[in-house]
Structure 1
Amino acid sequence: MSNKSDIAKEALILADQALRDLELSEASLTSIALKSSRIARITGNFKMQKIMLYEAGGYPSELTGIPPEINTEIWQLAQRAGRIIKKKKDGAIEEYAETKSIEQLETEINTAKERLQVSQDADVSISSSNPYQVIPPVAGNLRERLSISNLISNTSKLIGQRRAFIYQYLSDTYYELRYSIATDDSFSRIRGIVDKNLSDLVPNALQKFSAISDNLESNNTEDWSNAVHSCRRVLQDLADSLYPAGNDVVKKIDGKDTTIKLGADAYINRIVAYCEENADSERFKEIVGSHMGFLGDRLDAVFKAAQKGSHADIVTREEADRYVVYTYMIVGDLMSLKLDSEK
């Protein structure tokens, strides 16, 4: 089974190919729409997957328009795709969805161009032996040609809009995937440092991170909270290893004596104290201290809420994801600091 990183890389390759096909006209717009549908499917954008399929094959409709039983969903998808057209009828503005497929629109243009060619007036010369006779002009196909020209113009405009819509989707997706992969690669490097060195300090930490990943895959909010609780336990175990609990200390902060708790429950303070005693860079101390303060306070808040049976502070999956990433980043910083101090 492919992981998220592999899926993102596959989608990025497809998006790059589709953009090239579109920019250099190396494939039909219909085939590019189908490739866009695949990109949307493998990235989990199921609404866009449907839209691209409808772009290629046409939106479900009847002679009277979009079927009432699926009117809302199909209408919303057509609206998102920019297929809603406004027309003035009997003094009122009416909206309708253009449901034809890209291929059908392209076929209509080609057929119209052939009709336009056929509708050209014949080169006819008429004369009379009577110099006083007025000869009326031969009736031509001007009206037909104007009608066909308007059809070609309007249909070309629709196809241009389809091309721009697909291009915008592919371009946005391409850059989103590039950013996502770059972020994943950066996180993977940090994770590599953590996975390689953390087990020496905290033997069960990697198993806890594995359990965290499993909890994040769940659709149960309680499991997301458990993932956050596990992050808290990992940091507590790491604090116990790097800076075991000890007596409180008094420090002057802003000219005032301040007691810094370093007991068993003060794992945040102990990690910050470890950084202060081992890091050469003041900036490093400030950054880690700031991150630890924010993350530790939030982890403790979620933990206390769960103890009280409150759901007010139970995190969403996205929030839990952030805390896991923050935890990995902080642990990675601490591992790097420890490795540097041992050189």
Structure 2
Amino acid sequence: MKNMTPQTEALRLLEESLSANEAPKGSLLTAVQKLSRAAALVENDDIQKWCSVQLGDQQYTRPLQQLLDVLQLEEGVEKKSALETAIKKLKDVGLNKGMHYSSEEVHVKIDESAGGYHSIGFIEERYADLVRLKNGNDGTYYKNNLNTHLSYVRRRSHELASGLLNRLRFVGLPSNCFDVLRSAVDDKLLDLNPALAEQLMLAFKAVASAKSEEWSQALTTCRRLLEGLADVVYPANSDPALGRVLSQAQYVNRLWAFMDKAIESDSNKALAKVHVDFLGAWMEKTNKIANKGVHAEVGQLEAVKAVFHTYLVVADILEYTSEAPNKSSKPNINNATMDELEALLNISRSTAKEIVKARVAHGKLDAEVLKKVPGVGAKTIEKALTEFSF
């Protein structure tokens, strides 16, 4: 175990947490403690704080208890002011509504007979005592209420452990196949455009978050990334390409046009066009999901699929970015016609013929071969290096 990475150790702890949670006589205290340690290893602050609440950490339970006290006050100006103060104290210690004090959790904890904000270990002991003594209550704690509290914490800790385990299995291990693709795309996109690469990496990070608002934001980021990528590889213009408008808003068409121009193989070109057309249909669906996210929760699975598909599409586009500049700027001297050699190098027809003969004789041209061609001097070689690629 000494050689375990934090992710591997966290995976082990999460599996043990789930086992303790699922065993008929498993300890819920043990399950929460192991979940807390796993969350600490992978720096998941939200889950770690939730566990601290269940373990009775007074740094968090005191302001939470103050919130419960305020909620039981009669409605009025005084309650409103006290509620604002209580929520501010919770924010000060890093507790968030929904994650650390959801409506369901408050409903369970507010009942003193169910154990309130005592440690889950204490609540387990009180429940076990009442079961052993066959009593419904001991005057303070009630067996049924304690059981409701334990059932809630067991279910919630199981949800959190399962979710974290799946995320770590999927994105946390260096041997993961998707990591190979993600790393390659990130690196190549960083070379092409660092700002776009950062957007894609942030989208990937967002879908691993426990916050639903970040999942929705990841979808919007994917769309903006593809718009930015289109601007880089095929800027907007007023000339249509094979009937497709290439305006600023038509970024999918511009990606399609880039593929059409960049790929030489007809079979590969046809396949790429189908892929980009599919991208257009997929992006339309993604936009609807993203718009939906403004008004309602977006599922994490939806966001994950969107980000992963974006990585796959961007990988295809980046595969051809190295070809596009050569086609659009410098012609290759080894494929140049005599007319191109004569015009771009400002040489005579006879010298152009000699260059072609040298190309055939040597198989290809470079600066050393050009030096030996009759009629080619230092200025012509300098011009060749400027006008042509080799």
Structure 2 length as normaliser, TM-score? 0.44
Q: Which has the higher strand share?
A: 1
Higher relative contact order at CA 8 Å, sep ≥6: structure 1 or structure 2?
Answer: 1
